Amino acid sequence: MKTYSLFTIGMLCLAILIVDAMAFYWLQSITQHIASSFMRSLIHILFWVFSVGLVTSIFVLKVKLDDINPIRKQVLISSFYGLTVSSFIPKIIFIIIISILYFTNSIFSDNESLIIVPFIGLFSGFLPFFIIVYGIFKAAYKFKIHHHTLSFKKLPQSFRGLRIVQLSDIHIGSFNYRYNIIESAVEKVNHLHPDYIFITGDLVNNFSWELKGWQSIFEKLEARKGKFAVLGNHDYGDYSKWESVEAKQENFDAIKQFYKTINFKLLLNEAEIISENNEQIALIGVENWGSPPFKQYGDLKKALKNADGIPFKILLSHDPTHWHEEVVVETDISLTLSGHTHGMQAGFQYKNRQWSPIKYKYQHWAGLYKKGTQYLYVNRGLGWLGFPGRLGMRPEITVIDLQ
């Protein structure tokens, strides 16, 4: 999990206090209708106790971060992230709505109609609060299966009807050893009876110790013909400070070893040739390839060397940026499977329409894309990172049937 400077944390806390001061100003327009002065004072005190307590806790956590047990540190960071979001966003909405209502009513209505305005504003703040709470405690673990059937002229006859299940961005450390949650996802995958299971990166948040105890869960993943994986940007340990180069390498090696332990073949800039009835397809896996500041470990040219002459190719590449930068048009790869974006863990989806703020950063950020005869699928991620929830962007299990 990315660390931030004390200055950045200070700016965040200042923003929280400014928003809280504005929210408190409008809160008083609501509490003035409470007859009991004791209740008014209690509400005001509780408001500032929470506000000051949150800011103080964020500062203390930042200062004491290095002395906290790594597991507890990860839980605390996620918890404060959730608290901050669930407090900050509803207050922003509350301030905007009630300000607009007061302004428009003061122009177009008499003063008596202003009485209802604060209560409408209060509702506008509580509604997003409850949505965020639902996103943290419920939606984050409501795994959704996205099913697609894709047709390819190049697909050999022997491979028609092939079923692929893709998982991505599991971020196992965020589940804090709640094995039953991932076990339910494993059951959903196995119920699909896949021929192949692919994991397209970010198995962990940063550390190999996050994988402790998970072996028995991931070993239950069943695929009739094979299980493969590639690495994501978080699997390299690049977002943490290490005592030595050797310590970082040991962490990296332990993550790679875990894949072997759970019977997944990790593809590191290489191709796996799959044969059936004297027909072949190529499964290509590259290490993480992304636009700066993400490091580019991937080497597509190297990975393609063993796949020359094989007409149908599937590429596993964590970052969807790779598709339009090096894959589409430049190669004859038919299908690319990626993840990385999480769909920002927040957005809007209805039938074939979807929107998320992440679209302004990534051209391809969730779901299926096509150019010519080449497809890209971007998995929305199984886990979460940072904000401990999902808002309108449920965790995904992708199933693709090839025809």
Q: What is the pLDDT of residues 354-372, one digit of tens each?
A: 999 999 999 999 999 999 9
Residues 149, 130 share a domain: no
Is pLDDT at 341 greater than 60 in this prediction?
yes
Residues 155, 276 share a domain: yes
* Domain residue limits at 330: 144-402
Per residue in 165-211, pLDDT tens? 999 999 999 999 999 999 999 999 999 999 999 999 999 999 999 99
Using CA atoms, how far residue 295 sits from 214, 299, 322, 383, in Å, is 28, 12, 12, 22
Residues 28, 148 share a domain: no
Neighbour tally for 399: CB within 10 Å: 18
Domains held by the chain: number: 2
At 110, is the pLDDT very low, low, confident or very high (cuts 50, 70, 90)? low
Give the mean pLDDT of 322-332.
Answer: 95
Residues 190, 65 share a domain: no
Residues 167, 107 share a domain: no
Asked whether residue 1 is domain-assigned, the answer is no
Residue 124 is predicted with a pLDDT of 82
The tokens for 126 are: 């509580």
The tokens for 264 are: 């997944």
Contact 205, 197 (CB under 8 A): no
Residues 68, 44 share a domain: yes
Residues 169, 212 share a domain: yes
Residue with tokens 């940007």: 233
Residues 169, 131 share a domain: no
Angle at CA of residue 324, ends 320 and 328, nearest 5°: 110
CATH number of residue 251's parent domain: 3.60.21.10
Is pLDDT at 377 greater than 90 in this prediction?
yes
Residues 168, 191 share a domain: yes
Residues 199, 100 share a domain: no
Give the mean pLDDT of 137-145.
Answer: 96
Domain-ending residue, one of 78, 108, 137: 137
Per residue in 49-94, pLDDT tens? 999 998 888 888 877 766 666 766 777 788 888 888 988 999 999 9
Q: Compute the mean pLDDT over every residue in the chain, rounded to the nearest whole number.
A: 91
Domain-ending residue, one of 122, 137, 152: 137
Per residue in 27-58, pLDDT tens? 898 888 888 999 999 999 999 999 999 888 88
Per residue in 291-319, pLDDT tens? 888 889 999 999 999 898 899 999 999 99
Residues 259, 157 share a domain: yes
Residues 157, 109 share a domain: no
